[in-house]
Structure 1
Amino acid sequence: MSADTKATNLSLEQADEEMYKILKKEEKRQFCGLELIASENFTSRAVMETLGTVFTNKYSEGLPGKRYYGGNEFIDQAERLCQSRALKAFHVDAKEWGVNVQPYSGSPANFAVFTALLKPHDRIMGLDLPSGGHLTHGFYTPKKKISATSIFFESLPYRVDGETGLIDYKALEAQAKLFIPKIIICGASAYPRDWDYKKLRGIADSVGALLMTDMAHTSGLIASKCLNDPFEFSHVVTTTTHKSLRGPRGAMIFFRLDKELKLKSKIDFAVFPGLQGGPHNNTIAAIAVQLKQVDTPEFKKYSE
């Protein structure tokens, strides 16, 4: 056996004892401490195993059946399986919805949607960060534009009522009629209430806007039908896969298969080649493994 072959067959402990020790310390910290960070979770052994497979070795720019590299027949199978399981997990019809499972994480997924459906300086509305919103929904301060979405697009935040702590839908509607956004974003990182998607869609329709839902923090609860269903009224739905879904660190973009809006072609192109190169195939395969677990009575019980 050559020296190079020996080197590639070493365990982590043998190859890099320093990093191995750090890993073991982090492992102990996670399993011996009490985690109270809502956006973190513990994924399964099966997911962890999938992340460490030969799927990580393959380059596969493009979409299933339309790759720029050869040898992707099994990568295509894995990605298509992930897509079908994603639609099934959220109880949506494959004739009405499509999904892109290639985004590296939630923030790039959201930005891909914006670059797909907006022109520079088009207008968006999202929940203000101090009200529980997310940076990627257009956050800025009086002195500085913080998120790339507020740099490249014009953003007007809506807020919660100061007394009730709930979304002020009447104020949102009034703002929307004055601002006329192209996209209204619902979803949050620190808003502990459910959303009235029907009311939001009505507001969006009244000003000619698309309704985008970012369900990153609550997607596991939505898949288990513990919360309202955003797919009934939204045009686009984004989510991470590692929070309440309990999967690896990745993201997905769901879109209506509307021939007039052409959301699929626009969003697919925005993800690649617009913002990303080759997808992380080991992550996509691991997402598929977790989505199979999501579609079980055990996961529903966990969510409840």
Structure 2
Amino acid sequence: MENGYATDSAMSALLSTPLEDSDPELYELIKSERKRQRQGLEMIASENFTSVSVLQVLGSCMTNKYSEGLPGARYYGGNQYIDKIELLCQKRALEAFRLKPEEWGCNVQPYSGSPANMAVYTALLQPHDRIMGLDLPDGGHLTHGFMTANKKISATSIFFESMPYKVDPTTGLIDYDRLAENARLFKPKIIIAGISCYSRCLDYKRFREIADENGAYLFSDMAHVSGLVAAGVIPSPFDYSDVVSTTTHKTLRGPRSGIIFFRKGVRSVDKNGQKVMYDLESRVNQAVFPSLQGGPHNHQIAATATALLQAQTPEFKRYQEQVIKNAKALCAGLQKRGYKISSDGTDVHLILVDVRSAKLTGAKAEFVL
């Protein structure tokens, strides 16, 4: 120290010293977590192991830059390369899911899946508008309007009126007939086709029919299966949806981030033969910023861009094909040993096992594994 100020050499050392030397306590904890991930049996379906390229981008200079706004319309200067990277990410997002830019647009700024979903609701709804999503105990997600009989849990049930739909308890499959019946009574503005713990492909065509019957938007949350969709090994929600959201760190195998896709062009034709156009682009973009978020996380956007490039390779497709084969093989093996599987099988990367026949709780089964 000189005159109460750090010397240039001391400041330089503070910025350039590796973590192992600057913070050995944290370094050892990270080493332990890395060892746990590599040596443990990782069976959490919403987790994945991302690539070296993604990790390199996450730890790059991209984390230093502020860039509120959209490419070409920023509130800060110095974003000429940030703009190019975000536009590249948008382009790759459309390419990864085989979407035409004249029919679909996307926003790659959501910090993760829950903020992405909240942005969709903010874009399409007014406070206390009605939504219908799969109930959390039946395999849905918190952000699809979860509440209990006594309490509104998710912000989506606090700010909007929620009526969940459910699975048939005898089959474990979504009860589309009951969903259609309740939608006629409830008249939701959004129907959510999405899961967090459901092992079957969704019938997007049926969802579309129910939404159209009630004048609702169809919002598909493909967070858990987007890698499978990108690889083309399960049906795509894009054929029938108005809006699609996803995380990027589950089966897509990227960083922890989110994307919102929105329809462009003609939505419908009215009774006078006039085209009714989608107006989702500005609504979604404004909902993300400035309504809900500040500056985007540019290191996440750049890392998503490289993950989306990887998702377009033949190797990624083979990987996703093998993921489903592995899930089906595990499912068959457990059934052979007498375990009950919810919905009697799987179409995707996850299975739901009833371990009560072995006199186990889920927590005990996790500990044993």
Q: TM-score, normalised by structure 2?
A: 0.82
Q: Distance in 1 between matches of 2:229 and 2:123?
A: 25
Q: Distance in 2 between matches of 1:160 and 1:22?
A: 42
- Secondary structure of the corresponding residue to residue 111 of structure 1: helix
Match of 1:267 in 2: 284
Q: Distance in 2 between matches of 1:118 and 1:32?
A: 46
Q: Distance in 2 between matches of 1:122 and 1:139?
A: 15
After superposition, the C-alpha distances for 1:14-53 in whole angstroms (9 at most, x for unaligned) are: 1111110111010100111110000000000000000011
Matched letter for residue 272 of structure 1: F
Pairing partner for 1:116 from 114, 117, 123: 123
Q: Distance in 2 between matches of 1:273 and 1:235?
A: 22
What is the deviation of 1:199?
1.1
Match of 1:150 in 2: 157
After superposition, the C-alpha distances for 1:165-211 in whole angstroms (9 at most, x for unaligned) are: 11111111000000000000011001100011111111101100000
Q: Distance in 1 between matches of 2:191 and 2:182?
A: 11
Match of 1:36 in 2: 43
Match of 1:283 in 2: 300
Q: Does 1:172 align with 2:172?
A: no
Q: Does 1:303 align with 2:310?
A: no
Q: Is the 8 A contact 2:102 2:265 kept in 1?
A: no
Q: Distance in 1 between matches of 2:278 and 2:188?
A: 16
Pairing partner for 2:144 from 137, 161, 169: 137
- Secondary structure of the corresponding residue to residue 216 of structure 1: coil
Consecutive unaligned residues of structure 1, counting only runs of 5 or more, are none
Q: Distance in 2 between matches of 1:258 and 1:177?
A: 27
Percent identity reads 63
Matched letter for residue 161 of structure 1: D
> Bigger CA drift: 78-87 or 250-259?
250-259
Q: Distance in 2 between matches of 1:52 and 1:154?
A: 41
Q: Distance in 1 between matches of 2:66 and 2:264?
A: 28
Q: Distance in 2 between matches of 1:80 and 1:296?
A: 20
1:87-236 maps to which residues of 2 (within 5 A)? Answer: 87-236=94-243
- Secondary structure of the corresponding residue to residue 2 of structure 1: helix
What is the deviation of 1:7?
1.0
What is the deviation of 1:266?
0.3
Match of 1:292 in 2: 309
Moved over 2 A (4+): 258-261
Matched letter for residue 91 of structure 1: R
Q: Distance in 1 between matches of 2:169 and 2:39?
A: 39
- Secondary structure of the corresponding residue to residue 191 of structure 2: strand
Aligned residue pairs total 304
- Secondary structure of the corresponding residue to residue 260 of structure 2: strand
Match of 1:20 in 2: 27
What is the deviation of 1:261?
3.1
After superposition, the C-alpha distances for 1:101-153 in whole angstroms (9 at most, x for unaligned) are: 00001001000000111000000000011110000000000110000000000
Match of 2:335 in 1: none
Matched letter for residue 289 of structure 2: F
Matched letter for residue 234 of structure 1: S
Q: Distance in 2 between matches of 1:16 and 1:227?
A: 45
Pairing partner for 1:9 from 4, 8, 16: 16
Q: Distance in 2 between matches of 1:123 and 1:206?
A: 15
After superposition, the C-alpha distances for 1:204-238 in whole angstroms (9 at most, x for unaligned) are: 01100000000000000011111111000000000
Q: TM-score, normalised by structure 1?
A: 0.99
Matched letter for residue 195 of structure 2: A
Q: Is the 8 A contact 2:133 2:191 kept in 1?
A: yes
1:78-89 maps to which residues of 2 (within 5 A)? Answer: 78-89=85-96
Consecutive unaligned residues of structure 2, counting only runs of 5 or more, are 1-7, 267-276, 322-369
